[in-house]
Copies of this chain bind each other. A is one copy, B any other.
Amino acid sequence: MARTVGLAPSAVLERLRKLEGRGIVQGYAALVAPRTVGLGQLAFVAVRVSGTGEQEESAGARLAAVPEVLEVHHVAGDDCYLLKVRTSDAQHLGTLLRQRLGRIPGVVSTRTTVVLETVKETVRLPLGPSTRQGDGSADDPRAATAVAR
């Protein structure tokens, strides 16, 4: 990284530690190709939840506790939650929907979108100048300035 940005290694390390301290860098990960570890089936599942706000939150937490469920997003519109799910195959996906997700209290229905092929999938955020409109609306007031520094 130091070579890439043309800075002394110690300076880069100091900046990284500060980014970690501010919660901007949340951690580090090895990126594993899902297919190669027997997780060839990707799907998005829209989950409709009934009941009060408290019951909905409880269902969200239960959905998030399932290992195959990589992402749980509370979305606007008819469906309460949108899930990103990885399984070995379609059969495993079906089992998961019926045996694990369908049995969570409050879950009324699920609508599954099967992924046939992934064209792009990255964790690299668009940090270029072209995408730098808006900003500053983050919850943490330090966040906006931290980018500019």
Partner-B contacts on A (CB < 8 A): 16, 22-42, 44, 60-61, 63-64, 67-77, 81-82, 86-89, 91-92, 95, 113-128, 130-140, 143-144, 146-147
Contact residue among B76, B87, B125, B137 (Cβ-Cβ distance under 8 Å from A134):
B87
Contact A126 B67 (CB under 8 A): yes
**Residue in B closest to A138 when the chains form the complex, CB atoms:** B35
CA of A33 to CA of B142, assembled, Å:
13
List 4 tightest A-B contacts by C-beta distance, closest first. Answer: A88-B134, A38-B135, A67-B126, A64-B120
For this chain, the copies found in one complex come to 2
Residue of B nearest to A130 (CB): B67
Find out whether the CB atom of B30 lies under 8 angstroms from the CB atom of A28: yes
Interface of chain A: mostly helix, strand, loop or mixed:
mixed
Residues of chain B with a CB closer than 8 A to A69's CB: 120
B63 in contact with A119 (CB, 8 Å): yes
Smallest beta-carbon distance A14→chain B, Å: 15
CB neighbours (8 Å) of A136 from chain B are: 38
Please measure, in the bound complex, the distance between the C-alpha atom of A94 and the C-alpha atom of B128, giving whole angstroms.
19
Tell me the smallest distance from the CB of A34 to a CB of chain B, in Å.
6
Measured in the bound complex, the distance between the Cα atoms of B96 and A134 in whole Å is 13
B31 touches A113 (CB 8 A): no
